[in-house]
Every structure is written in structure tokens, then in C-alpha cells.
């Protein structure tokens, strides 16, 4: 099958796609392999989906790579994931540069192993002037953590007298979230059949279209991404308005 064939209307592309990459462990288990085999194969999907988004013209792609809860997984799995991140980041910097993609990260990076943090910061620095697409990795990220941090930052500004009570609004909250400067995702994809948001971008997904697929992350490829975007484009996004109001606008 020619995976480059799609019926996507490029004028109505989601500007920002966020993905919960789920199902690596089950994918590996169904092949009688250890869980980390799934993560290793998941990297190919990361590469393919990143490339497809950039080719289409999606401007922001956020991938949930490691949640604050993932530290509770077996030590071997956590260590392998951290190493995989280092190896992948190092290996892919040139490709990111060639494709004019800049890397960014959201989450509490201070708690990452030093090697992972270093590779990440080097990747961010080496790609910072690229402008075709932003690839945002959510690492040691959870939305509840992010919102608590946001409240702390706002409380400090209020206590310091640099912020009035009436200025605490959506704009102010967005400016104090990890995703400052990044438009909210319009499409959120979760693979593997689970239908949950799992502490991912809770504030930012307020109006996102949610797309759930049974496909396990290591099997998620360009064709699967095209299908998700085509599905997104069939939906009517009302933002609280009526269908009639939208048609008459
Ligand atoms: C969820 O599957 C996947 C993860 C927690 C990690 C995702 C990481 C990668 C794909 C590799 C590295 C990423 C980058 C950006 C280089 P799961 O383990 O929860 O699967 P399960 O639900 O079947 O157990």
C-alpha cells in the first residue's frame, strides 16, 4: 500500500497534534518479547509520525514520552527508556536539523537522569533556530504537576504585587504553563484502545478532538496518522456554539 496517499485537506490541518503513545508493552508481549522491545520499536513510530507531520505542515507535535507516574515501573524498564531517549536524541539531531524541526520539552526535567537531561538540552540547543515544526517531548510530565507549578508562579507574582487579581485569566494561566507560547492541541490521539487522558495536557485539551485507536504504538505509522487527521476533519468543531451559528458565520 502507498502510505503517502491520503484525503487530508491541507488547508484544514490541525496546527498542533498531541499523542499518548500507548501499547508498547502489550505489542511486545503479543510477540513473546520483553516490554522494552516494544519501546525500541516505538521509536520507529516516533520517527515516522514526526516525519509525516512535518511533511503535511503540522506546526506542533507533542509526544507523551514519560509521565511522572512512569517512575513506578520496573527499574530495568525505566533505565532502558532513559537510555533509549539518550540514544535516539543523539542519533536523530541531524535528521531534525535536516528537516528544519526544533525540539522542545515539557515536564520536570530537573528530575531526569543527568545523561538524559544533558542529551535533551543539547538537542534543544542544536535545533533551536529550526522553524518548520516544533517537536515537543513531554518528559517527567504530568498535567496536575504542571497546573500546581502554574498556580505557584501566579501566586508569587500576586504576592509580589506584579499581578492584579482581575488579571488572573485564561491568558495569564497559559503564560504560566509549561506550554507557554504553544497553541492548544486541536487533535489528541491515543493508541492501544485505552480511552483516557492520563494526566496529559488537561488544561490545554479543553477543546481538542479526541481520537482513540486500537492500533498499538509500534504499529502506528503514516497511514494511521492520516486516518486520524481525516477523522478529525470530518468533525464539526463548535466551541460551545450551535451548528446553525457556525454555518451562518
Ligand atoms: C506506553 O506504552 C509508552 C511509554 C510509556 C513510553 C513511550 C516511549 C517511546 C515510544 C520511546 C522513546 C520516545 C522518544 C520520543 C524517543 P506502555 O509501556 O504503557 O504499553 P502497555 O500499556 O502496553 O504496557
Residue 147 maps to a domain: yes
Take atom 8 of ligand 1 and give the residue whose Cα is closest. 65
62 Cβ inside 6 Å of ligand 1 = no
Cα distance between residue 112 and residue 89, in whole Å? 14
Domain count, the chain: 1
Residue 60: phi, psi to the nearest 5? -135, 135
Residue 213 maps to a domain: yes
Yes or no: say if 218 and 38 are a contact pair by the CB < 8 Å rule: yes
Mutate to test the pocket of ligand 1, among 18, 19, 21 (most ligand atoms within 8 A of CB): 21
Cα distance between residue 14 and residue 58, in whole Å? 6
42 Cβ inside 6 Å of ligand 1 = yes
Residue 244 maps to a domain: no
User: How far does the centroid of ligand 1 lie from the alpha carbon of residue 12, in Å?
Assistant: 29
Residue 76 maps to a domain: yes
User: How far does the centroid of ligand 1 lie from the alpha carbon of residue 218, in Å?
Assistant: 9
Cα distance between residue 197 and residue 167, in whole Å? 29
88 Cβ inside 6 Å of ligand 1 = yes
3-state secondary structure of 202: coil
Range of the domain at 87: 18-234
Concatenated DSSP letters of 23-85: -HHHHHHTTT--HHHHHHHHHHHHHHHHHHHHHHT--EEEEEEEEGGGGGS-HHHHHHHHHHH
pLDDT at 236: 77
pLDDT at 1: 45
Q: What is the pLDDT along the chain (249 residues), one digit of tens a residue?
A: 445 788 999 999 999 999 999 999 999 999 999 999 999 999 999 999 999 999 999 999 999 999 999 999 999 999 999 999 999 999 999 999 999 999 999 999 999 999 999 999 999 999 999 999 999 999 999 999 999 999 999 999 999 999 999 999 999 999 999 999 999 999 999 999 999 999 999 999 999 999 999 999 999 999 999 999 999 999 977 778 777 777 777
15 Cβ inside 6 Å of ligand 1 = no
pLDDT at 2: 47
pLDDT at 241: 76
Greatest Cα pair distance, the chain, in angstroms, is 61
Residue 7 maps to a domain: no
248 is catalytic: no
Residue 197 maps to a domain: yes
Residue 132 maps to a domain: yes
pLDDT at 249: 74
- The whole model's pTM is what? 0.94
- Please name the residues in contact with 77: beta carbons below 8 A apart, sequence gap of 6 or more: 35, 36, 39
Residue 5 maps to a domain: no
- Own/partner pairs for 118-123, CB < 8 Å, 24+ apart? 119/85, 119/86, 119/89, 119/90, 120/85, 120/89, 122/89, 122/93, 123/89, 123/92, 123/93, 123/96
Measured from the Cα of 89, ligand 1's closest atom is 16
70 is catalytic: yes
pLDDT at 247: 76
CATH number of the domain where residue 29 is located: 3.40.1180.10
Measured from the Cα of 218, ligand 1's closest atom is 10
Cα separations in angstroms, 202 against 39, 159, 191, 197:
25, 26, 18, 8
Amino acid at each position: 500500500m502507498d502510505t503517502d496517499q491520503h484525503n487530508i485537506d491541507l488547508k484544514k490541518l490541525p496546527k498542533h497534534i498531541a499523542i499518548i503513545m500507548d501499547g508498547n508493552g502489550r505489542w511486545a508481549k503479543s510477540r513473546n518479547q520483553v516490554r522494552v522491545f516494544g519501546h525500541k520499536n516505538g521509536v520507529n513510530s516516533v520517527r515516522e509520525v514526526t516525519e509525516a507531520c512535518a511533511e503535511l505542515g503540522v506546526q506542533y507535535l507533542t509526544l507523551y514520552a514519560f509521565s511522572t507516574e512512569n517512575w513506578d515501573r520496573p527499574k530495568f524498564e525505566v533505565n532502558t527508556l532513559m537510555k533509549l531517549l539518550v540514544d535516539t536524541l543523539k542519533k536523530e539531531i541531524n535528521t531534525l536539523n535536516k528537516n528544519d524541526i526544533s525540539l522542545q520539552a515539557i515536564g520536570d526535567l530537573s528530575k531526569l537522569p543527568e545523561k538524559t537531561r544533558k542529551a535533551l538540552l543539547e538537542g534543544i540547543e542544536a535545533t533551536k533556530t529550526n522553524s518548520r515544526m516544533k517537536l515537543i517531548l513531554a518528559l517527567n510530565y504530568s498535567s496536575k504537576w504542571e497546573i500546581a507549578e502554574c498556580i505557584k508562579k501566579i501566586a508569587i507574582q500576586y504576592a509580589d504585587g506584579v499581578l492584579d487579581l482581575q488579571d488572573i485569566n485564561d491568558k495569564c494561566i497559559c503564560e504560566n504553563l509549561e506550554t507557554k507560547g504553544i497553541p492548544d492541541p486541536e487533535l489528541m490521539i491515543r493508541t492501544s484502545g485505552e480511552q483516557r487522558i492520563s494526566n496529559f495536557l488537561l488544561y490545554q485539551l479543553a477543546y481538542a478532538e479526541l481520537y482513540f485507536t486500537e492500533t498499538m504504538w509500534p504499529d502506528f505509522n503514516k497511514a494511521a496518522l492520516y486516518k486520524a487527521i481525516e477523522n478529525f476533519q470530518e468533525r464539526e468543531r463548535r466551541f460551545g456554539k450551535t451548528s446553525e451559528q457556525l454555518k451562518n458565520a
